Amino acid sequence: KSARVSFGSGSKGEEKDRKLIRYLMAHGHETPFEHTVFQFHVKCPIFVARQWFRHRWSSFNEISGRYTVFDEGEFYVPEKKRVKEKVNKQGSEVAAISDEEHAAFRARVEAESQRSVDAYKELLEQGTAKEVARIILPQNMYTEFYWTVNARALMNFLKLRCDVHAQYEIRVYAEAIRDMFFEKMPWTAAAYREIYLGEKEEAATPS
């Protein structure tokens, strides 16, 4: 509807409106997509939140470690050990090791994280201010935030964070966000899949 206002008219039916959406996206006219706004309540590890917050054209409000005590066991432990990727040297891939070895990796991460949390709690008990004690907490602690973002900025987030070069952990979140977005804005999603993902229109909108 915001797109149509540039042409001074109302909707012209599904087929024409979908065509307009595709045209706008293909030619970089992205402002009409800013008028649809999404809001998410996200819980994720701090190192994921750090990547997320780099997306400046959106609004964040995070739970603050200055005022809130972190709960026991509230940290993220990867399912599998990952090693340096062979092809794309900057990423990582699941190590070709036994289940026991993966379990040993998990146990190590869990033990180290728990030790840090224990030390944090001890510091609190000794009267240390929360904003000081939390500095020794690891970056896999969970945090929570509200995220308000328009469809244009959301698509930009998806382009970068669903990408194979994104770290696995944020990619999982981005893919979940993407699925919700595709469900809520199917016409825009179809154009997005066609133009940015190279998928055929037919595949994107099965009857």
Number of residues that bind a copy of itself (CB under 8 A): 79
Q: Which is nearer to a copy of itself, 129 or 176 (CB)?
A: 129
Packing angle, helices 14-26 and 186-196, rounded to 10: 40
Map the footprint of a copy of itself across residues 158-177, applying CB under 8 A: 159-160, 163, 165, 167
DSSP for residue 141: B
* Cβ–Cβ < 8 Å for 143, 44: yes
Stretch that binds a copy of itself, among 128-136, 172-180, 187-195, 198-206 (CB under 8 A): 128-136
Cβ atoms within 10 A of the Cβ of 106, count? 15
59 binding a copy of itself? (CB under 8 A): yes
Q: What is the DSSP string of 68-121?
A: -PPPTT-B---SS-EEE-SSSTTSEEE-S--HHHHHHHHHHHHHHHHHHHHHHH
Each residue 78-117 as x (binds a copy of itself by CB under 8 A) or -, in order, gives: x--xxxxx----xxxx-x---------x--xx--xx-xx-
Strands 92-94 and 82-84: antiparallel
Considering only 13, 56, 86, 98, the residue that binds a copy of itself (CB under 8 A) is 56
Among 18, 19, 121, 130, binds a copy of itself (CB under 8 A): 130
Distance, CA of 105 to CA of 95 (rounded, Å): 11
Binder of a copy of itself out of 14, 67, 86, 183 (CB under 8 A): 67
29-48 binders of a copy of itself (CB under 8 A): 31-32, 34-35, 37, 39, 41, 45-47
Q: Report the nearest approach of a copy of itself to the CB of residue 181 (Å).
A: 17
Residue tagged active-site, from 152, 161, 178, 193: 161
Residue 161 annotated among the catalytic residues of the structure: yes
- Asked if residue 197 binds a copy of itself (CB under 8 A), the reply is no
Distances from the Cα of 109 to the Cα of 33, 75, 82, 141, 202, angstroms? 42, 10, 12, 12, 45
The catalytic site residues sit at: 161
